[in-house]
Amino acid sequence: MSNSTRCAACKSLRRRCSKDCVLAPYFPPTNPQRFACVHKIFGASNTTKMLEQLPLHLRAVAVDCMSFEASSRVEDPVYGSVRIISQLQEQIIEAQSELVKTKGEIAFHNAQQQQQMQQLQMIHAIAQEGEDQPSWLSSSQQDLFPNINQQQLEDYNYSNTFCGFEF
Amino acid sequence: MGGSSPCASCKLLRRRCAKDCIFAPYFPSDDPHKFAIVHKVFGASNVSKMLQELPVHQRADAVSSLVYEANARVRDPVYGCVGAISFLQNQVSQLEMQLAVAQAEILCFQMQEPNLPTHQIDQVDKSFLLSNNNFDDNNIPQYLSFASSSNVIQDPLKKESLWT
């Protein structure tokens, strides 16, 4: 990059922006604020060293992350991006607690439903037993009196001679 | 620090540790690694400027968070703290989904058996699930596009971590 198109870093540092400037690809002159934050928190020298230790294809992401951390620190000089981590951890604790409570509620309802099902089944079973006739009732009436002479029954006109009752 | 031993920062920087050394209260000589890592990532000069801009009662917390961030960046030179944030945001999303499913199940129970006791359900904050109010209120950007990294999660500001 020539002096007329220096990157934001070299502009801020008031130096010539060389062709192989490490910072140029990530700090375009259109966004001076980005480098200003990173420079304030990490320093140009540290930033350059950190980028030089990374493979080319990871540098853009690294700069984005450093830029985020630097701007978080500028906004919150005491906690920076660590505040976000703390808040997220608190949210996770709350969510986990809520989840445990809700799962307990589900277990409670499941247990109630099971109990109701069992009660219904018992009632049904008892009702079934009441409807079914026992085996000794299912045989025909004539077996009840195996020793009675059928002819004698017909001759006696049963309805007239049995204590006056009509059948 | 007068006649006593220099603080960790002055030892590393090989200079005389003055009585009013700004680093001395926060970088004792028995923990040289703490300053070394902060110096490596931020630089002593920047740390000094940052501390000078803060009231004294906030400097200890600031140093703790700087140490945390520096450790994060050394462990993960690409993502640093952002990796941890991304990982935690994923965790929150997953938990919110699980909670939504569980609460939908509770609502099914309520619809099937309206007379079932719901004293616990009434206290459940359904809005927790259905909106991202927590994120909106805190302006936490969504960094889900970054690969999440759990390499750096530990105790920020001495709070208990969930992932140790």
The alpha carbon of residue B25 and the mean position of all alpha carbons in its chain are separated, in whole angstroms, by 22
Per-residue pLDDT averaged across A73-86, rounded?
96
Distance CA B118, CA B128 (A): 18
Where does the pLDDT of residue B117 fall: very low under 50, low under 70, confident under 90, or very high at 90 and above? low
Per-residue pLDDT averaged across B118-122, rounded?
48
Q: How far is A10 from chain B (nearest CA, A)?
A: 19
Q: What would the pLDDT profile of B48-99 be if each residue is shown by its tens digit?
A: 999 999 999 999 999 999 999 999 999 999 999 999 999 999 999 999 999 9
Per-residue pLDDT averaged across A75-93, rounded?
96
Q: What would the pLDDT profile of B3-48 be if each residue is shown by its tens digit?
A: 578 999 999 999 999 999 999 999 999 999 999 999 999 999 999 9
Q: Give the amino acid at B54.
A: L
Nearest Cα to A78, choosing from B115, B58, B69, B32? Answer: B58
Please check whether residue B44 is in contact with residue B17, taking contact to mean a CB–CB distance below 8 angstroms. Answer: no
The pLDDT value given to residue A133: 57
Which residues of B are less than 8 Å from A92 in CB distance?
88, 91-92, 95, 162
* Chain A interface, best mutation among B65, B125, B131, by max A CB count within 10 A: B65
Host H or E run for residue A104: helix A82-131
DSSP state of B23: S
Instruction: Pick B81's closest partner by Cβ from A43, A69, A87.
Output: A69
Distance CA A32, CA A10 (A): 10
Instruction: Identify the residue with better confidence: B13 or A140.
Output: B13
Distance CA A147, CA A149 (A): 6
In chain A, what are the helix, strand and coil shares in percent, each to the nearest 5?
A: 70, 0, 30
Q: Is the pLDDT of residue A96 over 80?
A: yes
Q: What would the pLDDT profile of B95-111 be if each residue is shown by its tens digit?
A: 999 999 999 999 988 88
Please check whether residue B142 is in contact with residue B90, taking contact to mean a CB–CB distance below 8 angstroms. Answer: no
Q: Which residue of B has its CA nearest to A107?
A: B106
User: Does ipTM top 0.85?
Assistant: no
Q: Give the amino acid at A115.
A: Q
Instruction: Identify the residue with better confidence: B148 or A149.
Output: A149
Instruction: Identify the residue with better confidence: B48 or B141.
Output: B48
On average, the pLDDT of chain A sits at 83
The pLDDT value given to residue A131: 72
Per-residue pLDDT averaged across A106-125, rounded?
89
Please check whether residue A7 is in contact with residue A23, taking contact to mean a CB–CB distance below 8 angstroms. Answer: yes
Which residues of B are less than 8 Å from A53 in CB distance?
77
Contact criterion met (CB < 8 Å) for A98 and B134: no
The pLDDT value given to residue A127: 87
Tokens coding B118: 């719901």
